[in-house]
Amino acid sequence: MRWSVSNRIVHHLLYKYLYFLFDKTFIYDSYSCRLDKGTHRAVKRLEQYTRIVSKNYTQDCWALKLDIKQFFASVDHEILLKFIRRKVNDKNILWLINEILTSFRTDKGKNAGIPLGNLTSQIFANIYLNELDQFVKQDLKIKYYIRYADDFIILNTGKLQLKPSLISVGNFLQNDLKLQIHPKKIILRKLIQGVDFCGYIILPHYRLPRTKTKKRIFEKLEQKICAPNFKQSLQSYLGYLSHANSYRLSQELNNQSAFFTTVIPNHSLPVKSHYPFSIRSSIFIPCIEKFSLQVV
């Protein structure tokens, strides 16, 4: 949904108002769209918890990772408004919130769904899923729990101990929030197998970038070899890799960058140069056509 400038200002002010009221009620280990939180801090916290649960990697640590099916499209407006009314009494603000909610439609019906990407949807999501956070921490007494948006992880020393948590969380989501755990995204893994969370794979003593992400990095850079924003894209990917144990991969990308930034600006491509091994010759074709070949 595309908003006008005035609407965006209203959304921003409403977001700040609700954030000030509700953020203090959220649990510490909720990391999405909050000040001094974010994906990197969520990953760091997960590493801290895995060390504690595994007793410094000397015993098993199991991770149960869950995802909510079509979360943003499934948020129930009446339930969300009930949570908001606990802190907001102003009729004008409640009217405004209701107008924002009812302006959005999904296939779930007119009384469900919040637009993905909207600023106010970020705080709405945290208000809604704070109920899940409180249930996990207060009712289930689960200590090692982290949530980022609609993805969350529970840690324990044993596989069997996590199964009751899965059942309890699933029932709560369905009965109290009208949400469902995605049946195809229930992942139960040992730490030594690698725990996928917030873009990284967490393992004992180190973290790695996702395999799919590494592949996508090379594919995207290959597509942008001749683009003016090639360096900008490269630096973005190097920034992502800097938060993982991926020195060799970063060096490989840097070497390829050095090749393209020295050859292409000269508008010539040495025929006998030794090209980076990971770049397929077919990648060069559209780029080579733009420059003259210089025999060396």
- Distance CA(116)–CA(122), nearest Å, equals 8
Whether 244 contacts 209, CB under 8 Å: yes
Q: What's the confidence (pLDDT) of residue 285?
A: 37
In the predicted structure, residue 282 carries a pLDDT above the cut 70:
no
Q: What's the confidence (pLDDT) of residue 3?
A: 57
Tokens of 85: 């009314």
39-49 average pLDDT score: 97
- Reduced to 3 states, what is the DSSP secondary structure of residue 153? strand
Question: Among 95-99, 155-159, 209-213, whose mean pLDDT is lowest?
Answer: 209-213
- Distance CA(247)–CA(256), nearest Å, equals 14
Question: Among 79-93, 101-115, 267-281, whose mean pLDDT is lowest?
Answer: 267-281
Provide the pLDDT confidence category of residue 263 given band limits of 50, 70 and 90. low
In the predicted structure, residue 274 carries a pLDDT above the cut 60:
no
Q: Which of 155, 123, 106, 125 is nearest to 1 (CA)?
A: 106
Q: Which of 43, 42, 44, 46 is nearest to 54 (CA)?
A: 46
The reported pTM is 0.81
Element containing residue 281 per DSSP (H, E): helix 281-288
86-109 average pLDDT score: 87
In the predicted structure, residue 189 carries a pLDDT above the cut 80:
yes
Q: What's the confidence (pLDDT) of residue 288?
A: 38
Q: What's the confidence (pLDDT) of residue 81?
A: 97
Mapped to the 3 state alphabet, what secondary structure does 78-102 carry?
HHHHHHHHCCCCCHHHHHHHHHHHH
In the predicted structure, residue 256 carries a pLDDT above the cut 70:
no
Q: How many residues does the chain have?
A: 296
Output phi, psi for 65, to 5 deg: -105, 130
- Distance CA(177)–CA(166), nearest Å, equals 16
In the predicted structure, residue 280 carries a pLDDT above the cut 50:
no
Provide the pLDDT confidence category of residue 261 given band limits of 50, 70 and 90. low
Percent of the chain with pLDDT over 90: 61
pLDDT digit string (tens) for 152-177?
999 999 999 999 999 999 999 999 99
- Distance CA(269)–CA(255), nearest Å, equals 16
- Distance CA(34)–CA(18), nearest Å, equals 12
- Distance CA(288)–CA(241), nearest Å, equals 29
Q: What's the confidence (pLDDT) of residue 57?
A: 96
Specify the residue for token string 């077919």. Answer: 282
